[in-house]
A and B are shown apart, each in its own frame.
Chain A
Amino acid sequence: MAANLMLVKGVAAPMEPKPVAKSVVATPPPEPHARTPWTDAVRAILSAVLPRVLGIFALLALWYFAAQNSAYLPGPDKTFHSAVEVFADPFYQRGPNDQGVGWNLLASLERVAKGFGLAALIGIPLGFALGRFASLSKAASPIISLLRPVSPLAWLPIGLAIFQAANPAAIFCIFICSVWPMIINTALGVASVPQDYLNVARVLQLSEWKVFTRILLPASIPYVLTGAKLALGIAWLAIVASEMLTGGVGIGFWLWDEWNNLNMEHILIAIVVIGVVGLLMEQGMTAIANRFDYRQR
C-alpha cells in the first residue's frame, strides 16, 4: 500500500525528494483508506493523461521559443488570440473567396465525402470480384501496381480536362487516390478467407449468395474497413493539396489564401484544424472498424 501511495505521489510530483517518501513509509496511513476506488481512479487518469499533457506542453514550449527567435512565426499566444477571433464567427460570407473557416472546412469535407464515397462504391465491389476470381486479379494487378504509386495531384490535370471545372476535378483526385487501398484491401480480405470456411460452405453446399453473406463478407470486413481507413487518410491528405491548386472554397484553399495574405496565424490555425479533423476521422473509422470486426467481439 505504501509503495502504491509513493507511486501516486511520484507521478504527481516527480521532483519530490526521497526522504519525504520515506517518512510516508514510516507513518503508515490507515490501510482501508489507502487504496479506495477513488485513489485508483485518480491514478489511472494521471497515468493516462499526464504524459499526453506533458507532450503537448513540450510542443507548445518549443513553438514558443522558436517564435521568439523568428520574425515571421507567431507564437502560441498570438495564434490563440487569432483563433478566438476566427472561431468566433466561423460561418461568415463575404464573397466567394472570403468565407469563414467553417465553410471552408465543410467544403473540403463534402469533397472528401463525395470522392471517398464514390471510391467505396466502386472499389469495394471491384475488390470482392478481384479477390474471388484469380484470373481477374491477374488482369488487374499490373494496372493497380502501376497507378497506385502515382501522386494524387498528378491526376488533377486529367480531372480538369475531363470535367472542365475545378470542383469535380478535386473530387476526381480524391476518388482516384482513395480507390486503390479499398480495392487492394478488399481483394486481400476475400482472397485470405481461410480455406476451412470455404470447405464448410462446400460441404453444406451453400448458395453463392449465402457464401457471400455468411462467409466472405464477415470474414473480409476487417480488411475492407482497414482499406477504408487508409483511403480516408489519403483522401484527407490529398484534398488539402488539391484545393491549394484548384482554389474556390476549402480548407486547403484557405490555407494557401492566408499565405498570400501573409497571415501566419491563420496558416497555423489551418494546420491544427486539418490535423484535428484528420485525427477525428481516423478515430471514427477505427471505432467503426472495431464495431464490425468479429475478432473484437
Chain B
Amino acid sequence: MTAYLEVDHATIEFKTRKGIYRAVQNVSIEVEQGEFVSIIGHSGCGKSTVLNLIAGLVPASSGGALLGGREISGPSPERAVVFQNHSLLPWLTCYGNVYLAVEKVFSGRQTKAQMRERTDEALALVGLTHARDKRPNEISGGMKQRVGIARALAMEPKVLLMDEPFGALDALTRANLQDSLMEIQARLKSTVVMVTHDVDEAVLLSDRIVMMSNGPAATVGQILSVDLPRPRNRLQLAEDARYTHHRAEVLRFLHSGHGAGAIAA
C-alpha cells in the first residue's frame, strides 16, 4: 500500500500580510522507486510548493510527505534538488560545486581520492569534463544546469527533485538536456520528481504526469500514465499516435475547467 515516496493529503499554507494563503490543499501523490513523475500545471499553481515539501524546504500545514516510510521533516542530501536557476556557487569551479555536495554526503565513508573520483565521474556523466575548472560565469546556461544535475546526481540521492530544470534554456539546449537526462535516468534508475509547465517535456520524460489545478488551494486534478516504451526518441514520438494522444490529454486538462477555469476564478 505504501509507495516509495508518498505525499499524503498535504495542505500547505503561508502566512502573508493579508492573512493565511493556502497554496495547495489535500495533495496526494505516490511515486514508485525508479519512477519518473512530472508535476504539471499553470504558473503559480503551487507545483513548486509541492516539490519544496518533498525537498523538506517547506513544511506542510497538515498531512505530509514520506520517503521509504519515514516522514520528511527537513531538507536532506537524500533528496537532492536541481534548482530552476541552477544555484551554483559563483566563487567555486564546476568541480568545486560538485565536490561540496560529494564531500558532505561521503566524507567519513570514503577517502579523498574516492570523493575526487566520484566528482569527476559526475561531471563526466553530464559531459562536462572539459569545463571542470571553469567558474559558473564562464559557461553557458545549459552547462550550468548540467553542473546542477551533476551536483545532485553525485550525492546518490534516493530521489532527484527537479524544479523546472530546463525552463530558462533555449529550445535546442533544452532538448539536448532532456535527452541526456533520459539517458542518465535509464542508466542510474533514479527516482525523479520534476516540476514543469512544458507539456512536451512532461510527456517525453515521464512515466506518470500529475496535473494540478490552479491555485489558490490547488490540488491534484488528474494523474496520467504515459504508456510509451523506453528508450524514447523525440523524433519518432513526434509522429506516434499515443504520444499525440497523451499530449492532447494534458493540454485538454490545462485548458479545461480544472485549469483555465480556475484562472478566471
Binding site for B on A (CB under 8 A): 196-197, 199-200, 202-206, 210, 214-215, 218-219, 294-295, 297
Binding site for A on B (CB under 8 A): 55, 57, 74-77, 79-81, 83, 85, 87, 89-92, 100-101, 104-105, 135, 137, 155
The minimal Cβ–Cβ distance linking B245 to chain A, given in whole angstroms, is 37
List B contacts of A203 (CB < 8 A). Answer: 55, 57, 75-77, 79-81
Using A295-B137, A297-B135 as known contacts, say yes or no to A196 and B76 having CB atoms under 8 A apart: no
List B contacts of A196 (CB < 8 A). Answer: 83, 85, 87
- Are A295 and B90 in contact (CB-based, < 8 A)? yes
New contact pairs (7) apart from A200-B83, A206-B104, A295-B137, CB-CB < 8 Å: A199-B57, A202-B57, A205-B77, A214-B89, A218-B89, A294-B91, A294-B135
Residue in chain A with minimal CB distance to B88: A200
List B contacts of A200 (CB < 8 A). Answer: 83, 87, 89
- Are A197 and B100 in contact (CB-based, < 8 A)? no
List A contacts of B87 (CB < 8 A). Answer: 196-197, 199-200
- Are A199 and B77 in contact (CB-based, < 8 A)? no
Report Cα–Cα, A219/B92, bound state, in Å. 11
- Are B81 and A199 in contact (CB-based, < 8 A)? yes
**10 A-B contacts (beta carbon < 8 Å):** A202-B57, A203-B79, A203-B80, A204-B101, A204-B105, A204-B155, A205-B75, A206-B100, A297-B91, A297-B135
Residue in chain A with minimal CB distance to B83: A196
The minimal Cβ–Cβ distance linking A204 to chain B, given in whole angstroms, is 5
- Are A197 and B89 in contact (CB-based, < 8 A)? yes
Report Cα–Cα, A295/B100, bound state, in Å. 20
6 nearest A-B residue pairs (beta carbon): A294-B91, A196-B87, A218-B91, A202-B75, A204-B104, A203-B75
Residue in chain A with minimal CB distance to B136: A294
Residue in chain A with minimal CB distance to B79: A203
The minimal Cβ–Cβ distance linking A145 to chain B, given in whole angstroms, is 24
